[in-house]
A and B are shown apart, each in its own frame.
Chain A
Amino acid sequence: MIELRNITKIYNPGEITEMTLFHDFSLTVEDGEFLSIVGSNGSGKTSMLNIICGSIPIEKGEIIINGKNIAGTPEFRRYTNIGRVYQNPSMGTCPSLTITENMALADNKGGKFGLSMGVNKKRIAYYREMLSTLGLGLEDKMDIRAGSLSGGQRQAMALLMTTMTPIDFLILDEHTAALDPKTAELIMQLTDKIVREKKITAMMVTHNLRYAVEYGNRVIMMHGGNVVFDRKGTEKAATSVQDLLGLFNEISIECGN
C-alpha cells in the first residue's frame, strides 16, 4: 500500500516564482490496484510520482509504503521494491551495454554487485526465453548494444527488466507517450499482462484517455494539485472516454481557456 499523507510541495520557495503545487495532499493506493492517472499539464501527476520515488524533495507530509514512512529515505534505496519506467525509452536501458548485459544488471537488482562475473552464462537461456515472449526478435540479437534498438524495443525491454526481480510497486510515467500508436498498444498490453501475472500494484500516468479507461481498475483525474475525479471497481468499469473528456472540458472552462 502506498499512502501519501498531507503532502505539501512548493516549487522555488522564497522566490518570486514560488508555486505551491500540493497543499495537504493525500492519496491512498491499495495493494493490487492498477491506478491510471490523467490530468492536464502542470496538474501534478508526474510530480506525485517523483515525490513517491524521492526524485524531488517535499516540504511537509508523510510517504508511507508498506507501513513505513520513507519521506527521508534517499531515492536509490526506495527503488528496492519500486520499479519505474519513464517516458523517454532511453532512460530504461544502458545504451553502450549489450542486451544480455542489461538483462544481467536488472536480474541482479537487490543483490551484491561484487567481483563475480557480471553475466551468469547459465541465466542466458532464461533471458532469451523472456525476450522471446515479447515477439520483437530481440532474442536473436542479444549481443548487440541496447543503444541501437528502436524506442519501442527499448521500452519493452525496460518493462521486462524492471519487473524481472520481485517488486511491490510499478511506476509508469507516460511510458507509451514517445511511441507510435501500434507499439504503444503493444507496450500497454504487455504492461497489463505483467501487472496481472505478477500481482503488482501499479500507478500509470497517461495522456491517453482510452488507455486510462480500458486498463486498470481505478482511475483518477488530477487538477491543480488535487484529485478531482476518482473511480474504482465497477464504477470505474462503467466510466467511458466521454465521461473523462467531459470533465476535462469543464475544468478547462473554469480555467478560462
Chain B
Amino acid sequence: MSVFFNTCEVFLESGFVFSLIAMGYYLSYTILDFPDLTVEGTFLSGAVVYGLLLHHGVSPWFALLAAFLVGFLFGTLTGVLNVKLKIRPLLCGILVSTMLITVNLVAVTAGIAGDFKGETSSMITIGRAMETLMEVFPASLLPDKVSGIGLRNVVVFFVLAILLKLLLDLFLKTKCGLLLRASGDNAQFVVTQAKDAGNSKILGLAIGNAYAAVSGALYTEISGSVNQSMGIGMVVIGLASLIIGLSVFSRVHFMKATTKVIIGAIIYQACLTVAQKLGMPSAYNKLIMAFIFTIALIFSEYKKHGKHRAKHRERKESSHD
C-alpha cells in the first residue's frame, strides 16, 4: 500500500510541476501555433535564478517571481526574433535556447563564486541550509508527511498549478487575452481591428516561457539541485502533456483546456513513474518519454483523420441525392 501512495506522490508532484510547461505550451503551441523550443532554455533559467536567489537567502516567493520574470524576458526575445526580425519559429527557439546554455552556465558560476574567471561550476545544491518554498509560510503550516506519505510538496504544487491555471484562464478572458486568441486564430482579422497581431504573439510567447521558468524553479524543490542538463527533454514533456490532455478529453466540453492539460501532465508522469517502479533503469527515461509521446501523437492524429474521413463520406453521400 505504501508503495502505491509513494508512487502517487512521485507522479503527482512532477505532474503538477510539469503541467506549468504544458499550460505555457497551450498558449504558444495550441493558441498561437508556435512550436517554441525556447522552453528547454527557460526551464533551466528559471531553476538557475531560483537556486541562486535561494543560495543568497532571498525569500522563495520572491525567487519564484524572479524566475517568472526571467522566463518572460527570454520568451519576449524569441517573440521579437520571430515577429520583428522574421526568423522562423523553430530557429528562434533554437537560437535563444542555445544562447541560454551559456547564459545559464555563466550565471551559476558567477552567482556562486562572485565572479567569472573561466572556471565553471555548473551545479547549485538546494541544501538544508537554505529556506525553500516548503519551509516558509504558508507551506510551513502543513505537515511534511502524514503517516509516512509525503504531503506538503503535493499540496503546494497542486495549489500553485491551480492558481496559475486560474490566472491563465482569467487572462484569456480579458480584452488583451481575447486579442491574443484572435491573433492565433485569424491574424488578418486582428490587423483589420487596427491592431498589430505581432505584439500579441510576443506576449503569448513571453507568458508561455514565464510558466516554463516557474516550472523549472519548482522542479528544483523535487530534484534538490540545479544542474545544467535539467532543461533537456522539456519540449517533449510539455508537448506530450498538452497533447495527451487535449486528445484524451477532446469530447469533454465542460472542462477548460487548461484543466485537461493539467490532467494530461499527470497521466504522462504517471506512465513514466510506473515504468520506473516496474524496474526500468533511469537511463531509459528519455526513451520512454519519447515513446509515450509518439503514442499520444499517433492517437491524436488518428482521431483527426477519422473525423476527416467521416466528413468526406458525408459530403459524398449528400452529393448523391
Contact = CB atoms under 8 A, between A and B. Distances in A.
Interface string B228-253: 00000000000000000000000000
Of B177, B179, B194, B195, most buried by chain A (CB within 10 Å of CB) is B194
B223 interface: no
Interface string B157-193: 0000000000000010111111101100110111111
A115 B171 CA distance: 7
Given A94-B181, A97-B181, A108 B175 contact: yes
15 contacts: A76-B191, A79-B192, A86-B188, A91-B188, A93-B186, A95-B186, A96-B185, A97-B182, A104-B178, A106-B193, A109-B193, A110-B194, A114-B176, A119-B178, A162-B192
A92 B185 CA distance: 11
User: Which of under 10, 10 to 19, 20 to 34, or 35 or more describes the interface residues of A?
Assistant: 35 or more
Q: Majority SS of interface residues in chain A?
A: loop
B195 A76 contact: yes
A92 B179 CA distance: 14
Nearest to B198: A76
Contacts of A94: 181-182, 185-186, 189
B52 to A, nearest CB: 31
Nearest to A84: B192
Contacts of B175: 104, 108, 111-118
Closest 6 pairs (CB-CB, A-B):
A118-B178, A94-B185, A79-B194, A113-B175, A80-B194, A113-B179
B80 to A, nearest CB: 17
A105 B179 contact: yes
A39 interface: no
B34 to A, nearest CB: 16
B191 A75 contact: yes
Contacts of A80: 194
Interface of B: 171, 173-179, 181-182, 185-186, 188-197
B191 A96 contact: no
Of A80, A93, A113, most buried by chain B (CB within 10 Å of CB) is A113
Given A97-B178, A118-B175, A109 B194 contact: yes
Contacts of B193: 79, 105-106, 108-109
B260 to A, nearest CB: 15
B194 A113 contact: no
Contacts of A108: 175, 193
Contacts of A90: 186
A145 to B, nearest CB: 10
B299 to A, nearest CB: 22
B283 to A, nearest CB: 42
Contacts of B179: 105, 113
Nearest to A101: B178
A162 B188 CA distance: 13
Contacts of A118: 173-175, 177-178
Interface string A111-138: 1111111110000000000000000000
A104 B193 CA distance: 11
Contacts of B182: 94, 97, 105
Given A74-B196, A101-B181, 8 more contacts: A76-B191, A83-B192, A93-B189, A94-B181, A94-B189, A113-B195, A114-B175, A118-B175
A196 interface: no
A77 interface: yes
A199 to B, nearest CB: 20
B191 A117 contact: no
Contact of B189 (A92, A110, A117): A92
A113 B192 contact: no
A83 B174 CA distance: 24
B3 to A, nearest CB: 44
A70 to B, nearest CB: 13
A229 B99 CA distance: 60
Nearest to B184: A96
Of B174, B175, B185, B192, most buried by chain A (CB within 10 Å of CB) is B192
B194 A77 contact: yes
B178 A105 contact: yes
A81 B171 CA distance: 28
A113 B203 CA distance: 13
Contacts of A113: 175-176, 178-179, 195
Interface string A51-95: 000000000000000000000001111111001101000111111
Contact of B173 (A78, A79, A114, A117): A117
Contacts of B171: 115
